[in-house]
Structure 1
Amino acid sequence: MNTPAKFAGFAVGLAAIFGIAVAVGATIGPEPGGAAAHDSNSHTDERTAPVDEMPGGLMSTENGYTLRLENPVATAGPNIAVRFRVLDAEGRAVTRYTRSHDKDLHLIVVRRDMAGYQHVHPVLDGNGDWNTTLDLRRAGDYRVFADFTPDGGVNTTLGADLRVPGQYDVQPLPAPATTATVGEYTVTLDGTVAPGRASRVTLSVARAGRAVTDLQPYLGAYGHLVALRTADLAYLHVHPEGHPGDGVTPAGPGITFSMTAPSAGDYRLFLDFQHDGVVRTAEFTVRVAPASSAPSAEPHGGHEATPAPSHPH
């Protein structure tokens, strides 16, 4: 969340072939948030962040920290308990974190084919164990991303694989498109994304054909965006420009992000936004062309997240 340009704000914002992988989401799902203001000191301005920074989530160990799942194999089911730890260089469980976007740690889970996206907030116990539940009804290989800032450290995103045995109903990547439908909501993506440099994009929310101008803060912002490169599931966390209560950022319909795509290729974008007390997730596929012929960002797809019970993520 803090990382100076993880997809630089498109927070928009890597090339290997789909492999086995990944894991988990949370029954807790996105949870309605209060009107907490976005901490202007919680991250650097993505527009000035370096574009050559390595995306997160490709390794389970980085910056002296390791993500360790208690069990890398989970039973299929709707409310599966998942436990994990973040270990320091000495192998000790980390118990102190710097809060970012209203939470100490954000857990993002998605299946390797980009299905089953979940953004949850686990609960930390006194021993350094993080606990949550995930919707793992669909078998397959999942990638689990832990996005956090250890006390006194730098923002880090670690990734680990979680396997759910069973019949794997692999889904094709949705084609690029500029709109995504989430129930009665339509989200439109406007902007051009070029590789290797910051790009400004705006996601606009409409309900039943009418612009939504009363979006509610979620995790300290009007929108929370995660971007994953489909080739290798490189994680790029993006932050919006402005924040609720700053006197200049409107509560919709548009949410503007500054993003940096590290390379050409296909990316999957997941936008969480809150309206009428419910957090919904709009999903897009964006194709980023090589620098010599960078076209407009194009997305597709979407699903509605059910209101989450109080806490974990």
Structure 2
Amino acid sequence: MSDPIPAAPDRSTIRLALVVGGLVLAVLLGFGLGRLNTAGTVATGATSSTADHTHPPGTGAHDHSAVTGTDQGAGGEPGGLSVSSAGYTFVPLASEFPAGQPGQLRFQVRDAQGRAVTRFAVVHDKPMHLIVVRRDLTGYQHLHPTMASDGTWSVPLTLAQPGVWRAYADFTVVADNGGQAAVTLGVDLVAPGGYQPRPLPAPATSTTVDGFTVGYQGSPQAGATVPVTFTIEGAGGTAALERYLGAYGHLVALREGDLGYLHVHPEPELVDGQVKFWLTTPGAGRYRLYLDFQVANKVHTAEFTLTIP
């Protein structure tokens, strides 16, 4: 005797099965698309980070932060406070220099395995920016060392007066996978002798250097990003500024006490003949500002004392 033929499901049962199946399919598709979107965000972020550190032409004003390896945001801590950060170490081959005598600073940047790093991105026309200043914030120098094939950097250096000096290596490392990380490391150098620290000049918004009158407008505030514009006047009026390292000015700010380091770049074009920066100071205190600008193929540096309440 043959088995009975099962009754066909009614229409309501078929309709319910289709609804349930559709819901399951939608959930599965949504999960898959979500994973794809998440992966796309990570990839986009990595690409953006790389672009930030190569700084293509037209890049706007920004700060360099050595703590995070990215451009500094509001409230970020300054760099250069440590000899090691982000897996890299600043290793000078000698740290003592006779005061007032020309010498040669040689150093390496080493990775976490102690190997000399040899791949650096060219940022603002140079692969390495070296800032040197005495701990009383005098004797500022902005230098550009050259690198040998073994990763040893060298640059002529004169520490004009006895004392402890701070050297900042400001650079961008290129990893094996092509990723880039901006880092600033600081190390102390010594010029033996009687150290006579100089007090900081009083705060002022105008100064003179090499026949130029330089002034700034703006009210920097702790933890906030605010515009600061500089005017440079010569004997005949507004100075004919030239691009130096790809920009119309470079601003370094050092915090009194711990010598925390900020390196700020301006808007790509002059604004009404002025050099405009966006400055973020991380906290209260006194800062020394160093503005590098170029006229007639010569670089000049104007210095200011700034107090942040």
Q: TM-score, normalised by structure 1?
A: 0.74
- Which structure's residues are more often helix, by fraction? 2
Q: How does 1:1-313 map to 2 (within 5 A)?
A: 39-40=56-57, 50-151=73-174, 152-208=179-235, 210-212=237-239, 214-242=240-268, 249-250=269-270, 253-289=273-309
Change in Cα spacing, 1:233 to 1:45, as seen in structure 2 (3 Å) is closer
* Mapped partners of 2:118, 2:109: distance in 1: 8
RMSD: 2.0
CA distance in 1, matches of 2:85, 2:110: 11
Q: Name the aligned partner's letter for residue 186 of structure 2.
A: G
For the structure 1 residues 265 and 42, does the alpha-carbon distance in structure 2 shift closer, same or farther, using more than 3 Å as the test?
A: same
Deviation per residue, 1:247-301 (Å, 9 max, x gap): xx23874100001000011110001000011100000101112xxxxxxxxxxxx
1:174 to 1:251, Cα distance in 2 relative to 1, 3 A: same
Post-superposition CA distance 1:161-204 (Å, at most 9, x none):
00110122311111100111102101001111111010100011
Contact 2:252–2:263 (8 Å) recurs in 1: yes
Residues 53 and 250 (structure 1 numbering): CA distance in 2 closer, same or farther, change over 3 Å?
Answer: closer
The 3-state SS of whatever aligns with 1:52 is: coil
For residue 208 of structure 1, report the CA deviation from its aligned partner: 2.2
- Paired with 1:85 and 1:43, the residues of 2 have a C-alpha distance of 31
Q: 1:270 to 1:129 in 2, by over 3 A?
A: same
- Separation in 1, partners of 2:87, 2:204: 39
Maintained 8 Å contact 1:222/1:251: no
Instruction: Confirm or deny: 8 A CA contact 1:198 1:258 kept in the other structure.
Output: yes
The count of aligned residue pairs is 245
- Consecutive unaligned residues in structure 2, runs of 5 or more: 1-54, 64-70
Residue type of the alignment partner of 2:224: R
- Is residue 39–residue 101 contact of structure 1 (8 Å, CA) maintained in 2? no
Contact 1:139–1:168 (CA under 8 A) maintained in structure 2: yes
Post-superposition offset of 1:229: 0.6
Alignment deviations for residues 38-92 of structure 1 (CA, whole Å, 9 cap, x no partner): 734778855x952232210000100100001111212223421110100011110
The answer on whether the counterparts of 2:61 and 2:264 sit within 8 Å (CA) in structure 1 is no
Q: Measured at CA, do residues 205 and 236 of structure 1 come closer, stay the same or move farther in structure 2, by a change above 3 Å?
A: same
Q: Tell me how far apart the structure 2 counterparts of residues 219 and 230 of structure 1 sit (CA, whole Å).
A: 27
Asked whether the equivalents of residues 146 and 159 of structure 1 are also in contact (C-alpha less than 8 Å), the reply is: yes
* Range that drifts further, 141-150 or 203-212: 203-212
Q: Which has the larger radius of gyration?
A: 2
